[in-house]
Chains A and B, each alone.
Chain A
Amino acid sequence: MSEPVTTMESLVSLDYERPLTLATRQYLAAIRDGRLIGHRCPSCERIYTPPKGYCPICTVTTSEADEIELASTGTLVAFSILNPDSLHQGEASVVRGNVKLDGIDVTLTGELTDVTPDEAHVGIRLRAVFADPSALEGALAEWGGAGISGWERSGEPDVPAEELERFETGGVI
């Protein structure tokens, strides 16, 4: 007679579909064309990218009529170094940066593809690396910048620190 049973294992495994919403489909269509778009709220003018199809502050819906094209180049204004741990699956440390887009008060967050932790500093000029839309998880497409899989150096000279604009939180992810 062996030991008494004192625990029970169980696995809940559930499959879900993530149909792409209207706003997401518009966003992905632009990504396929190498364009980054957002929706600008007709009421408060906040910009959402990827677009949600609504503005949560003003509770109005947004549509293609509110589409605004965003630059896919920008400047690194802040960054973190992610070291390997249980959440970060890779073996090397990576840089995750906030990139302020050119010409508009929108900041996106993404992984820097060709900047090492030692090299990272604010002011680096970057351009978006567009994701392959067919590889996107619908859920990620809604949750922030998945149309952009990363940011690479644009090759332009750095923006000096004193020229980096201080900006209001106008852009929302």
Chain B
Amino acid sequence: MSEPTIPTVTVEMPYVRTLGPVMSRFFTGLRDRQIWANRTEGGTVMCPPFEYDLSGHDATDDWVQLEGSGTVSSWAWIAEPLRNHLLQEPFAWALIRLDGADTDLVHAVRVADKDQMRSGMRVSVRWRDERVGSIRDIECFEPEEA
């Protein structure tokens, strides 16, 4: 008698979350191809924006629009993407310091080859054609045209 196959189960949890005023502003911006950051009382410009600053300063209603270009602070290479990853071909995760921000954004960088990645390189946003108000409205970042 052969061993039975290992049963599998898929656990699914669908959610709908409300965003609140700060994230609503940010994600509405993404849908409209705009990147907005907010500034704390202490002057820290945060992208993505947060309701409060980590150093205890209140976040303000002071918003700054960013251009969408920045510098890679750190990166990691994915040779074999997982099914939920932003990109489905080999790519780099990156912490990206957008021009004008004081915090890094976590996103993906698409390059033809791992050799093109380095900390300090310049990248700019590529927008997804269909946007809904999600961090995935940014399809990825790509090397800035020289």
- Give A83 Cβ to nearest chain B Cβ, in Å: 26
Q: 19 additional contacts, CB 8 Å, given A10-B14, A139-B7?
A: A1-B32, A4-B25, A4-B28, A5-B31, A6-B19, A7-B18, A7-B19, A8-B23, A12-B13, A14-B12, A15-B8, A15-B9, A15-B11, A16-B9, A20-B6, A20-B7, A137-B7, A139-B9, A141-B7
Of B9, B27, B28, most A-chain CB atoms within 10 Å? B9
Docked pose: A19 CA to B6 CA in angstroms: 5
Q: 8 tightest CB-CB pairs across the interface, nearest first?
A: A5-B133, A138-B7, A12-B13, A4-B28, A5-B28, A5-B27, A18-B7, A13-B12
Contact B32 A8 (CB under 8 A): no
User: CB-CB < 8 A to B16: which residues of A?
Assistant: 7-9
Q: Point out the residues of chain A lying under 8 angstroms from B24, CB to CB.
A: 4-6
Q: Are B12 and A17 in contact (CB under 8 A)?
A: no
Considering only CB atoms, which chain B residue lies closest to A137 in the complex? B7
Given known pairs A1-B32, A28-B4, the reply for A8 and B9 (CB within 8 Å) is no
Asked if B88 CB lies within 8 Å of chain A CBs, one says no
Chain A, residue nearest B26 (CB): A5
* Chain B 10-44 interface residues, beta-carbon cutoff 8 Å to A: 10-19, 23-25, 27-28, 31-32
For window 122-144 of B, CB contacts with A under 8 Å fall at 132-134
- Contact (Cβ within 8 A) A7 B4: no
In the complex, what distance in Å separates the CA atom of A132 from the CA atom of B16? 39
**Is A11 among interface residues, defined by CB-CB distance under 8 A?**
yes
- Taking the closest CB of chain B, its distance from the CB of A122, in whole angstroms, is 35
Count chain A residues whose beta carbon lies closer than 8 angstroms to a beta carbon of B: 28
Q: Contact at B17–A8, with CB atoms within 8 Å?
A: yes
Residues in A with CB closer than 8 Å to B15 are 9-12
Given A1-B32, A4-B24, A5-B31, verify A17-B17 contact (CB < 8 Å): no
Closest-CB distance, B104 to chain A (whole angstroms): 21
Chain A residues near B (Cβ < 8 Å): 1, 4-20, 28-29, 32, 133-134, 136-139, 141
Please determine whether A18 and B6 come into contact, CB atoms closer than 8 angstroms.
Answer: yes
Q: Is the CB of B14 within 8 A of A11?
A: yes
Q: How far is the CB of A7 from chain B (nearest CB, A)?
A: 5
B4 contacts A134, C-beta separation under 8 Å: yes
Q: Which residues of A contact B8 (CB under 8 A)?
A: 15-18
With a cutoff of 8 Å between Cβ atoms, the chain B residues found around residue A7 in the complex are: 16-19
Please, which residues of chain B bring their CB within 8 A of the CB of A13? 10-13
Chain B residue, CB-CB nearest to A14: B11
- The minimal Cβ–Cβ distance linking B16 to chain A, given in whole angstroms, is 5
Nearest-Cβ distance from residue A18 to partner chain B, whole angstroms: 5
Considering the chains assembled together, what is the distance between the CA atoms of A136 and B14 in angstroms? 26
B6, A12: Cβ atoms closer than 8 Å: no
Whole-angstrom CA separation of A139 from B117 in the bound complex: 45
Contacts of B25 in A (CB 8 A): 4
